[in-house]
Chain A
Amino acid sequence: MPQPSTITAEQVTTVALVGNPNTGKSTLFNALVGVHQHVGNYPGVTVERKAGRMAAGGQTLEVIDLPGLYSLAPRSRDEMVACEVLLGEFKGLDRAQAVVCVADASNLQRCLYLLSQVLDLGLPVVLAVNMIDVAEKHGIEVDLELLRQRLPIPVVAVQANRRLGVEQLKAALSEAFEVEAPARMTPFPEPFEREAAQLRGWFEAAPSTGGGAFCPGIARRLLLDAGGYLEADMLARGRLPDEAGQELARARARLEQEGCRIPSIETESRYAWGHEVLDGAVRRPETYRPSFSDRVDAVLTHRIWGTLVFALVMVAVFQAVFVGAEPLMEWIEAGMAEAGQWVASVVPEGALQSLLQKGVVGGVGAVIVFLPQIVILFLFLAVLEDCGYIARAAYLADRMMARVGLSGKAFIPMLSSFACAVPGIMAARVIEDERDRITTILVAPLLTCSARLPVYALLIAAFVPSWTYLGGLLNLQGLVLAGLYALGIVVAVVAALLLKHTLLRGAAPPFLLELPSYKWPSPRNVAYRVVQRVGQFLRCAGTLIFAVSILVWAALYYPQNPPSAEPLREARQALEAQRENLPPGAPQHARVDEQIAEISREITGEQQRQSILGRLGRVIEPVVRPLGWDWRIGCAVLASLPAREVVVATMGVIYNLGEDVDHDSEDDRNLLQQKMRAAVWEGSGRPIFTVPVALSILVFFALCAQCAATLAVMRQETGTWRWPAFAFGYMTLLAYAGAFVTYQVGTWIAGG
């Protein structure tokens, strides 16, 4: 991804798009830059950075879509990034040179609060008033002419969804560069301005401030942010002298004595200013008239009807994700098999062929198979988000989630995790409270994702008897499957509660969520969002999962040609010689071929048993013995580290079935089941796979974190390896404990 610093080498002017959430800011961004946009993260933090180029007034402008926010006082990571980009304090990024402030015509008061903060920064600003048509429908009239007279900046009316006013906005923007930055009209009382000026002088006189001038307004911002996040960040980077903290505290104490309480002085002064600007410029209807959104909400947020619709929507999404994705997933699997065969036909047999076929195509393919599910899930979420339903879903789920110590916003990430934990963890970005977000990320992989289904299907069909109850209404196999889903949910709830009371303890801020007016989803917005999210998933799959797949491949491939396989190889050579000598068309051909195939499978099996991974399996045998597992199961579980479903193929290999176990093919699955039923403990004739052992494996896979993609995306979203390491540790412990209890209790019941 090109870093912004390389872009600015050719002196492109940067314009930041700022606005409250739900003001149509992203729609306006799409209308301004079209397809010439790229999405990445801000260096070092997982805040989405959307940027694109547009031409305005003969020059090219780089437009940055900053995260939607209500205030520049930074509390969350989103606000921190926006604040620092505008202040020119974001490390490694140049300061934005102009700002477009996007406002919702129906809610100008709150938008002007943010505008007032932006005006403090001394940059050219254009106010884009969006959705005037919607406001008019609600009987709200906005006198733009009066606003233009009162505000020192250009004011442009836009309708971003119909791309109206975009040209006027561009023109206003290029004009804004020509004129001087607007003279500030301070909304603050005199004592505050005096302290701010004094503080600024003090900063500039300080010897060590990490180079670079401070932008106007920085002293005011620091003074107002009683939470001290910006202050802490700038101190940590050596941007402020060490004594700045005490200096700020002293200034705030002096202000308090003069009747300027921090932080309430900010809302008081800025809202008072906004009130003056809007006085007479906005007319609202005298009496309450229910809008279309109100009428829809009367049903959709209703305790009974709303919950019913909510349940139906969720069922529909799930149906689409699981049933709709099925044929596509089969295509991809077939395509991957083709690709593997093509590699085998082009590359000569040997380490390289095996690496490409099993490590690259096999490993990454196992993850790409889930792409259709992820695309469909993202598509539904993007549509629901764009039309405004997601906020209602969060409202309805909040009551339930609050019991776990989370908020309604954690619901969508959790729900997505039933399809795949990767999009679930990515969706957790909407949660502003950092502790809530980390908790959600940590428990999301406990929910049963679709990658567990092949493992469940194989083991349940093979070892759980198909007893029926209540006249065929309930089947034991189905009950076990449901039980595994329930186990994931229960453990996730308990884990979330524990985490919120221990590691991630702390008072959550009040849950505050805007319910935007309903609108038809815009295909353009939906398409951009899906493409961007899927791109992130693929980038993740393409890097770390790739690396882990190759590691596991190597551990299963080396050392080559173990001496113990020598007799088998000799036997194969003898058989091959025998076949050579047979007359063409002899009836024995088929039988000899079969024998060669059988012995080849045994060679592969022996090879893998002697591989690094196979030996590791033997090393950990004492550890997995209390779970009822032999070393072969332990080995298969180790091999499934990159992705759970790999365990099916690995078991196939280890039980001499060859590598082409297709978990979707009925015949292959039956064959593997037979082989597994026949497996016995070495040295004794006892079967390995009993019902307690199968259940113990099932419980292990329900709770473990065997998924490189999940761990990689956790790293990406939390910015540190600490959390994925923690998740892996606690989930593996849980899985081990669960499997242990299951096996021991199971054997006791079976024996008793």
Chain B
Amino acid sequence: MVDKTVPLETLLAGETATISRIGGHGPNVHRLEEFGLRGGSRIRMFRTGNPCILALGGGKVCLRCDPELRILVERAADTPPPVTVPGRPSPFSRGGR
């Protein structure tokens, strides 16, 4: 079977994925796991970059990884890539108040 995991940074804004593996310094990985960022967690990239913003569970988290921390994710198959131009959606395109 083809390994479909990609680094977290490659996700585009609006894409949904499942975390497959977090590698790095043990205590740091554990810290992320306690926070709920662990293998099997479903996330949604809200804002790309470093730090990035992820939607997780019912909320959002801001995360800055150092180079030694690698988060591998698998893009959700059921969600097609976002239709809007990825990267930096216009702030007003979602029709805020």
- Bound together, the chains give a CA A135 to CA B53 distance in angstroms of 20
Is there contact, CB below 8 Å, between A227 and B27?
A: yes
Residue of A nearest to B95 (CB): A295
Is there contact, CB below 8 Å, between A140 and B34?
A: no
- Bound together, the chains give a CA A687 to CA B32 distance in angstroms of 65
Residue of A nearest to B13 (CB): A298
B residues in contact with A105, CB < 8 Å? 58
Q: Does A688 contact B (CB under 8 A)?
A: no
Is there contact, CB below 8 Å, between A399 and B51?
A: yes
Q: Does B86 contact A (CB under 8 A)?
A: no
Q: Does A231 contact B (CB under 8 A)?
A: no
Identify B46's interface contact among A297, A398, A508, CB under 8 A.
A297
Per-position binary interface string of chain A over residues 384-406, scored 1 when its CB falls under 8 Å from any chain B CB and 0 otherwise: 00000001001100110010000
Q: Does B16 contact A (CB under 8 A)?
A: yes
- B55-97 contacts to A, CB under 8 A, are 55, 57-66, 69, 88-89, 91-97
Q: Contacts A301-B53, A398-B64, A515-B53 given: A510-B59 contact, CB under 8 Å?
A: no
B residues in contact with A254, CB < 8 Å? none
Identify B53's interface contact among A264, A267, A395, A407, CB under 8 A.
A395
Is there contact, CB below 8 Å, between B26 and A514?
A: no
Is there contact, CB below 8 Å, between B59 and A511?
A: no
Is there contact, CB below 8 Å, between B66 and A507?
A: yes
Is there contact, CB below 8 Å, between B33 and A511?
A: no
Is there contact, CB below 8 Å, between B51 and A408?
A: yes
Identify A226's interface contact among B27, B62, B69, CB under 8 A.
B27
B residues in contact with A509, CB < 8 Å? 27-28, 31
Q: Contacts A227-B27, A263-B26 given: A106-B59 contact, CB under 8 Å?
A: yes
Per-position binary interface string of chain B over residues 9-31, scored 1 when its CB falls under 8 Å from any chain A CB and 0 otherwise: 00000001000000001111111
- How many B residues touch the partner, as a band? 35 or more
Is there contact, CB below 8 Å, between A302 and B91?
A: yes
Q: Contacts A70-B35, A296-B96 given: A288-B16 contact, CB under 8 Å?
A: yes
Is there contact, CB below 8 Å, between A264 and B59?
A: no
Q: Contacts A106-B57, A288-B16 given: A511-B51 contact, CB under 8 Å?
A: yes
Identify B51's interface contact among A73, A107, A271, A395, CB under 8 A.
A395
B residues in contact with A512, CB < 8 Å? 31-32, 35, 37, 61-63
A residues in contact with B55, CB < 8 Å? 294
Interface size on A, residues (CB 8 A): 54
Residue of B nearest to A298 (CB): B91
B residues in contact with A395, CB < 8 Å? 51, 53, 62
Q: Does B7 contact A (CB under 8 A)?
A: no
Residue of B nearest to A227 (CB): B27
Q: Does A185 contact B (CB under 8 A)?
A: no
Is there contact, CB below 8 Å, between A267 and B51?
A: no
Is there contact, CB below 8 Å, between A305 and B34?
A: no
Is there contact, CB below 8 Å, between B94 and A298?
A: yes
A residues in contact with B94, CB < 8 Å? 290, 294-295, 298
Identify B58's interface contact among A113, A135, A288, CB under 8 A.
A135
Q: Does A610 contact B (CB under 8 A)?
A: no
- Bound together, the chains give a CA A298 to CA B49 distance in angstroms of 15
Per-position binary interface string of chain A over residues 164-207, scored 1 when its CB falls under 8 Å from any chain B CB and 0 otherwise: 00000000000000000000000000000000000000000000
Residue of A nearest to B88 (CB): A303
- Bound together, the chains give a CA A353 to CA B52 distance in angstroms of 61
How far apart are B54's CB and chain A's nearest CB, in angstroms?
10
Residue of B nearest to A305 (CB): B91
Is there contact, CB below 8 Å, between B63 and A510?
A: yes
Is there contact, CB below 8 Å, between B46 and A294?
A: yes
Is there contact, CB below 8 Å, between A271 and B63?
A: no
Is there contact, CB below 8 Å, between A394 and B62?
A: yes
How far apart are A501's CB and chain B's nearest CB, in angstroms?
15
- Bound together, the chains give a CA A266 to CA B49 distance in angstroms of 31
- Bound together, the chains give a CA A398 to CA B53 distance in angstroms of 12
Identify B33's interface contact among A140, A264, A301, CB under 8 A.
A264
Is there contact, CB below 8 Å, between B47 and A515?
A: no
Is there contact, CB below 8 Å, between B96 and A295?
A: yes
- Bound together, the chains give a CA A293 to CA B32 distance in angstroms of 23
- Bound together, the chains give a CA A290 to CA B33 distance in angstroms of 26
How far apart are B77's CB and chain A's nearest CB, in angstroms?
15
Identify A267's interface contact among B27, B34, B59, B69, CB under 8 A.
B34
- Bound together, the chains give a CA A142 to CA B97 distance in angstroms of 28
Identify A514's interface contact among B27, B33, B61, B88, CB under 8 A.
B61
A residues in contact with B93, CB < 8 Å? 298
Is there contact, CB below 8 Å, between A515 and B59?
A: yes
- A290-325 contacts to B, CB under 8 A, are 290, 293-299, 301-303, 305
Q: Contacts A226-B26, A510-B64 given: A517-B53 contact, CB under 8 Å?
A: no
- Bound together, the chains give a CA A226 to CA B60 distance in angstroms of 28
- Bound together, the chains give a CA A263 to CA B29 distance in angstroms of 10
Is there contact, CB below 8 Å, between B91 and A511?
A: no
B residues in contact with A507, CB < 8 Å? 25, 66
Is there contact, CB below 8 Å, between A510 and B91?
A: no
Is there contact, CB below 8 Å, between B34 and A510?
A: no
Identify A301's interface contact among B30, B47, B65, B97, CB under 8 A.
B47
Per-position binary interface string of chain A over residues 497-525, scored 1 when its CB falls under 8 Å from any chain B CB and 0 otherwise: 00000000001111111111100000000
Q: Does A640 contact B (CB under 8 A)?
A: no
Per-position binary interface string of chain A over residues 248-279, scored 1 when its CB falls under 8 Å from any chain B CB and 0 otherwise: 00000000000000011011000100000000
Q: Does A95 contact B (CB under 8 A)?
A: no
Residue of B nearest to A399 (CB): B51
Is there contact, CB below 8 Å, between B36 and A110?
A: yes
Is there contact, CB below 8 Å, between B62 and A298?
A: no
Is there contact, CB below 8 Å, between A510 and B61?
A: no
Is there contact, CB below 8 Å, between A71 and B25?
A: no
20 residue pairs bridging A and B, Cβ less than 8 Å apart: A70-B34, A105-B58, A106-B59, A107-B57, A107-B59, A227-B27, A263-B26, A267-B34, A294-B60, A295-B96, A297-B46, A297-B53, A298-B94, A301-B47, A399-B50, A408-B62, A509-B31, A512-B31, A512-B32, A514-B59
Query: Which residues does A use to contact B, with CB under 8 Å?
Result: 22, 70-71, 73, 75, 104-107, 109-110, 113, 135, 138, 140, 226-227, 263-264, 266-267, 271, 288, 290, 293-299, 301-303, 305, 391, 394-395, 398-399, 402, 407-408, 507-517
Given A107-B59, A301-B53, A399-B50, list of 10 further CB < 8 A pairs? A104-B58, A113-B36, A226-B26, A298-B96, A305-B91, A402-B64, A511-B62, A512-B37, A513-B61, A514-B60
Q: List 8 A-B pairs, minimum CB-CB distance, nearest first.
A: A106-B58, A511-B64, A267-B33, A515-B60, A295-B96, A299-B91, A71-B34, A110-B36
